[in-house]
Amino acid sequence: MEGMTTIDTDTVGGRTVDAIRADFPAFAARSDGAAVPAYLDSAATSQRPRAVLDAERDYLEHHLAAVHRGASSAVGESTTLFEEARETVARFVGAGERELVWAENATDALNIVALGMSDASAGLGGAEASAFSLGAGDEIVVPESEHHANLIPWQRLAARTGARLVAVRVDQHGVWSIDAMAEAITSRTRVVAFAEVSNVTGYLAPVADVVDVAHRHGALVVLDACQSVPHRPVDFAGSGVDFAAFSGHKMLGPNGIGALYGRAELLDALPPARTGGSTITTVTFDEASFLPSPQRFEAGTQPVSQVVALAEAVRYLEALGMDAVARHEESFAARVVDGVSALPGVRVIGPQAGQRRAGLVSVVVDGVHAHDVGQVLDDAGVVVRVGHHCAQPLHRALGATASTRASSYVYTTHEEADRFVEALSGVRRFFGVESSGVESSGVGQEVPA
C-alpha cells in the first residue's frame, strides 16, 4: 500500500518465506481452489511444520513406552528420547537440564510457582522453603498490562497470604516504563512478575533493568516468556530471572506442553504444586520426601510425545536463527504500524510508529467493536484475534472494551501485512461511522475474548 515502509524480499535465516511456508501443511493450496487465508494469529497459537508433526507421530508409532518406569529396553529408549528433548529445549532458552520442568502450558507453569509459594507460606516444605513464604506486609508487583495467566495466580497468592498486590501503571498507549516499575518495587516487595513481551502491545520489557532493581530489594523475578521464547533469542540464566514460563503451541510445537524455568537451587527448595508418583524419594503413610528438580514437579504420566515434538520445533527454529526470526517479525510490525497509522479513526496500542516492538500489533477502531472488526477481516480472508486477549485490566486502563490483534511468525509474508491494513482500512466505512462523529473506542458491552 502507498506510504508503507519498503522492506526487502521476505527471508528468514537465508530462506525465503515462501520456502518456509512449504514446510507447513496449513498453507498448502486448497483442493477447492480457494485462497489460503492470511494467518495473523500466531501469538494465540502457531501453525506446525511437517517435521514437528512427523516427530510426534514417529514417537507414537515406534518408541512409545512409560518413561522413568521399569527397566526394559523400551522404557530406556523412551526415557532417553524424553530427556534428550529436555536438553535440547533447555539449551535453547539458556537453562541447565535440572532447571527445566515440564508443565501443561505457561499458565500451568506460572501456577506451579504461585502455588508453591502458597504452600511455603502455609509452612510446607520445611526450612528450605521458608524463603518463599509471604505474609501481611509483603508485596507482589505486577504491571496492569499482564495476561491474566500472570495476574490471577498472584491475586490468589496475595489473598491466601495477606500480601498486597501492587500494580505498575501503564501510559496512554498501554506501556509501562522502568521508572514506573522501579517506583513500585520497595523493600516490602517479594515477587515481581511481568511479561518479556506483552501479548497485546508488543512492548519489549527491559528485563535486565527490572532484574537489577528487584534483586537489589531482595525480590524474586518471575518472567512470562510466552511471546519471547518463540520469537527472539532468550537466555534465562544470563538474564538473571529467577523463574520463567513458556508454551509449546506458540513456538511451532504441540498443545499440552509448556515449561517452567527456575534456578536449580530455587526449584529444589520450592514445594511441588502437584504431588504423586515419580516425584518422591520416600513415602510413609504420614509423609513424603521429594526428589530434586525437575522430577519433583513432574507427577504422573508425562506428555512424552509432545516433549519430543517440542524439541523438533526448537531444532526448526534454531536452523533459521532466532535473531533472523526477530528481525523478520519486527519488520512485519513496522510495516503494519506504518500502514495503520495512516488510517483515520484507528488507534495503535503499544509502541507507536518508529518505536521498536515485537511482531504483533493491536488496534482499536473508533466506533466499531473489535468483534465486528474481526468479522470484516475474516470475510476478507484475514485471520486475527479479537477481544481483550486475556488482559482486561490493560484494556480498561486504555478505555477500550476490546481490540483487534494481528501477529506474525516465520511463515508470515509482507503481502499478508498489507492485506491486513487494506482490509482494516474499509471497516469504518462498512459500518458507516467514518463521518458520523463517533470517536469513542470500546463500543459495546464487554465480552469474553
Q: What is the mean pLDDT of residues 89-98?
A: 97
In whole angstroms, give the CA distance from residue 115 to residue 169: 26
- Which of residues 301, 318, 335 is at a domain's end? 318
CA distance 286 to 284: 5
User: 183, 234, 185, 166: which is closest to 205 by C-alpha?
Assistant: 234
Pick from 25-34, 401-410, 412-421: least confident: 25-34
The pLDDT value recorded for residue 443 is 35
Look at residue 75 in the predicted model and tell me its pLDDT: 75
Give me the residue label for grid cell 487465508.
37
Report the pLDDT value the prediction gives residue 340, as an integer from 0 to 100: 97
Q: pLDDT tens, 139-165? A: 999 999 999 999 999 999 999 999 999
Q: Say how many C-beta atoms besides its own lie within 10 A of residue 217's C-beta.
A: 16
* Full domain range(s) for residue 206: 54-318
Are 148 and 274 members of one domain?
yes
- Say what percent of the chain tops pLDDT 90: 87
Looking at the chain, the whole-number percentage of residues with pLDDT higher than 70 is 94
pLDDT of amino acid 187:
98
What phi-psi label fits residue 276: left (phi over 0), alpha (psi between -120 and 50 degrees) or beta? left
* 260 and 123 assigned to the same domain: yes
Same domain? 314 vs 329: no
Which residue among the candidates 141, 390, 398, 410 is catalytic per the annotation? 390
Pick left, alpha or beta for residue 69 (phi over 0 → left; psi -120 to 50 → alpha; otherwise beta).
beta
Let me know: does 299 contact 272? Beta carbons within 8 Å. Answer: yes
Residues 162 and 71 in one domain: yes
In tens, the pLDDT along 24-53 reads: 999 999 888 889 999 999 999 999 999 999
Closest by Cα among 324, 350, 354 to 338: 354
Burial class from Cβ neighbours inside 10 Å (0-12, 13-18, 19+) for residue 142 reads: buried
In a domain, 443, yes or no: no
What secondary structure letter does DSSP report for 345?
T
Beta bridge partners of 279: none
Read off the amino acid at residue 132: F
pLDDT at position 70: 67
End-of-domain residue from the set 283, 318, 353: 318
**441: in domain:** no
> Residue 434 has what pLDDT?
74
- Is 226 one of the catalytic residues? no
Task: Check whether 186 has a pLDDT greater than 90.
Answer: yes
The structural domain count of the chain equals: 2
In angstroms, the CA 111 to CA 114 distance is: 5
pLDDT at 183 over 50: yes
Residue 442 lies in a domain: no
pLDDT of residue 339: 97
- 277: confidence class by pLDDT, cuts 50, 70, 90: confident
pLDDT at 446 over 50: no
Do 302 and 362 sit in the same domain of this protein?
no
Instruction: Say if residue 21 is in the same domain as residue 58.
Output: no
- Do 299 and 332 lie in a common domain? no
Nearest to 389 by CA among 413, 373, 410, 370: 370
The pLDDT, as a whole number, for residue 435 is: 55
Same domain, 76 and 33: no
Q: Which residue's entry shows cell 492485506? A: 419
Same domain, 339 and 195: no
Range with lowest mean pLDDT among 104-118, 193-207, 270-284, 364-378: 270-284
Residue 445, domain member (yes or no): no
For position 274, which CATH number holds?
3.40.640.10
pLDDT beyond 60 at 97: yes
Please report which helix (H) or strand (E) contains residue 323, including its range: helix 322-341
pLDDT of residue 449: 41
CA–CA distance, 64 with 93 (Å, rounded to integer): 27
What is the average pLDDT value for the chain, to the nearest integer?
93
301-336 confidence digits (pLDDT tens)? 899 999 999 999 999 999 999 999 999 999 999 999
pLDDT of residue 7: 41
Q: Are residues 334 and 358 in the same domain?
A: yes
CA 74 from centroid of its chain's CA atoms:
35
> Residue 168: which of 153, 187, 189 has the closest Cα?
189
Q: How confident is the model over 257-268, as a mean pLDDT?
A: 98
pLDDT value of position 64: 81
Contacts of 408 (CB under 8 A, 6+ apart): 40, 42, 328, 329, 332, 333, 359, 360, 416, 417
Stretch 237-257: mean pLDDT: 98
Region 98-122: what's the mean pLDDT? Answer: 98
Residue 319 per-residue DSSP state: H
* 69 or 377, higher pLDDT: 377
pLDDT above 50 for 437: no
- Other residues' Cβ atoms within 10 Å of the Cβ of residue 70: 12
Query: Which DSSP string corresponds to 118-170?
Result: HHHHTTTT-GGGGGG---TT-EEEEETT--GGGTHHHHHHHHHHT-EEEEE--
